[in-house]
């Protein structure tokens, strides 16, 4: 009996010690990504004594709320952020350096290059991809056929897109050749800038500190868009509509080519199964291909304890494993690792692979002032698109955008 009591006591002490050593971490995530991250946390928590607690923050409030929390020493242990904000938080010394962890992963070379680039500041890495996505074009194969175009041949240049769009618009009956969301800076960096990247151009220098707006590629891209607009080939609500308007217009069968994102494949097949479509990378004015690498990056907040850091990085390694990558693909549309693409997409529409294959060539603006440059409703990038494509003074608008970019960058670049 004494031996039994001793054994029970020892087991109780062991269990107590185990429970005491269990760690809990808190991750803030955008509501748009909340369901997937919560699902991953549930899977992790079910098989680990350590726990990951997910707190969902409204997307528009994430950046100011996290900034205030860091400043007030009340930040979470980690955050899953829109990758475009990583340079800002890293430059402000708000994130934990995880360079050694990232470089030591056996699949480090298989993570989205743009996510790693945006997470890198001053030679150190501050984040890893969580839920990536990419921008592409979708085109209606029925309309291509009716317009005498080859439905099996995607436009290989923006010049081809313009030519095809005008032929589709010529079908009449309120049919339009092209749709892009021109009223949102967030959308425009997603589906307009890839034209420039495909031509090895950009509106910013590689380090994000200088404006490089006026390039031949920009002028060629604008010329193609102006040509389509003047020809009546662009759907009229492009100028003032939003992403929902774009999907609805394309799903109606009245739009030939749509600037969109990787999510479109699963969305159309599930909600609009009668739409016959194909997808392709976004081309440059005369060729090439690129994409906007969007989505989320997981970062740890500077000052996290070593114990909590270990749990957070273990969670990263957990969701990077094949089973979880398949789950991410099912729920979000795109896995975090390129080397698992075939496995992750095995059960899904193979058209998803088009978006995923281009992710290796995708880019994201590296900037410390994303909102002011690109997102603001009165910002210079939105004014550039509205002024050059729908306005009359192309040269003046480009010059003003270059000056406005430079002024903002000089004020916001870190020392």
pLDDT at 16 (0 to 100): 44
Is 332 a residue whose pLDDT tops 90? no
Question: Could you please report the per-residue DSSP string of 137-206?
Answer: EEEEHHHHHHTT--TTS---SHHHHHHHHHHHHTT-TT-EEEE--TT-HHHHHHHTHHHHHHTT--SB-T
Question: For 12-32, what is each residue's pLDDT tens digit?
Answer: 444 444 445 789 999 999 998
Domains for the chain: give ranges and CATH numbers.
Answer: 2-133+293-361 (3.40.190.10), 134-292+366-412 (3.40.190.10)
Q: How far is 260 from 347, CA to CA, in rounded Å?
A: 23
Dihedrals phi, psi of 240, to nearest 5 degrees: -130, 0
Q: How far apart are CA 410 and CA 168, in angstroms?
A: 45
Give the pLDDT confidence score for residue 2 in this predicted structure: 44
Report the pLDDT value the prediction gives residue 294, as an integer from 0 to 100: 92
What is the pairing mode between strands 24-30 and 78-82?
parallel
Under a CB-based contact definition with an 8 Å cutoff, are residues 231 and 224 in contact? Answer: no
Each residue's pLDDT tens digit, 218-270: 999 999 999 999 999 999 999 998 888 999 999 999 999 999 998 899 889 98
Dist CA 335 CA 320 (whole Å): 9
């Amino acid at each position: 009996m004494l031996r039994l009591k001793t054994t029970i006591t020892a087991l109780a002490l062991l269990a107590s010690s185990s429970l005491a050593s269990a760690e809990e971490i808190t991750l803030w995530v955008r509501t748009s990504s909340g369901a997937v991250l919560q699902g991953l946390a549930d899977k992790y928590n079910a098989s680990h004594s350590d726990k990951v607690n997910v707190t969902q923050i409204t997307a528009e409030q994430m950046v100011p709320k996290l900034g205030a929390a860091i400043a007030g020493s009340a930040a979470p242990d980690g955050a899953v952020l829109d990758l475009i904000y990583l340079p800002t938080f890293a430059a402000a010394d708000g994130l934990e350096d995880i360079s050694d962890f990232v470089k030591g992963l056996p699949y480090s070379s298989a993570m989205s290059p743009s996510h790693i680039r945006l997470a890198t500041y001053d030679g150190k890495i501050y984040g890893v991809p969580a839920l990536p996505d990419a921008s592409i074009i979708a085109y209606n194969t029925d309309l291509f056929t009716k317009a005498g175009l080859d439905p099996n041949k995607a436009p290989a240049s923006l010049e081809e897109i313009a030519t095809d769009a005008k032929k589709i618009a010529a079908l009449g009956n309120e049919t339009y050749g092209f749709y892009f969301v021109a009223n949102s800076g967030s959308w425009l960096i997603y589906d307009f800038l890839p034209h420039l990247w495909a031509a090895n151009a950009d509106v910013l220098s590689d380090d994000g500190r200088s404006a490089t707006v006026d390039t031949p590629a920009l002028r060629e891209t604008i010329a193609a868009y102006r040509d389509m607009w003047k020809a009546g080939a662009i759907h009229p609500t492009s100028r003032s509509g939003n992403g929902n308007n774009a999907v609805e217009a394309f799903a109606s069968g009245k739009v030939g080519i749509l600037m969109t994102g990787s999510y479109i494949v699963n969305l159309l097949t599930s909600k609009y199964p009668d739409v016959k479509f194909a997808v392709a990378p976004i081309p440059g004015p005369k060729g090439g291909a690129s994409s906007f690498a969007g989505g989320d990056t997981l970062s740890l907040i500077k000052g996290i304890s070593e114990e909590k850091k270990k749990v957070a990085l273990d969670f990263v390694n957990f969701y990077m494993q094949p089973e979880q990558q398949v789950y991410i693909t099912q729920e979000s549309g795109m896995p975090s690792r390129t080397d698992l693409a075939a496995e992750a997409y095995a059960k899904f529409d193979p058209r998803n692979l088009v978006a995923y294959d281009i992710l290796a060539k995708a880019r994201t603006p590296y900037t410390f002032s994303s909102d002011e440059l690109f997102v603001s409703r009165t910002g210079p990038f939105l004014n550039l698109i509205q002024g050059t494509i729908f306005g009359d003074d192309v040269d003046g608008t480009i010059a003003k955008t270059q000056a406005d970019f430079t002024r903002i960058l000089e004020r916001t670049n870190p020392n």
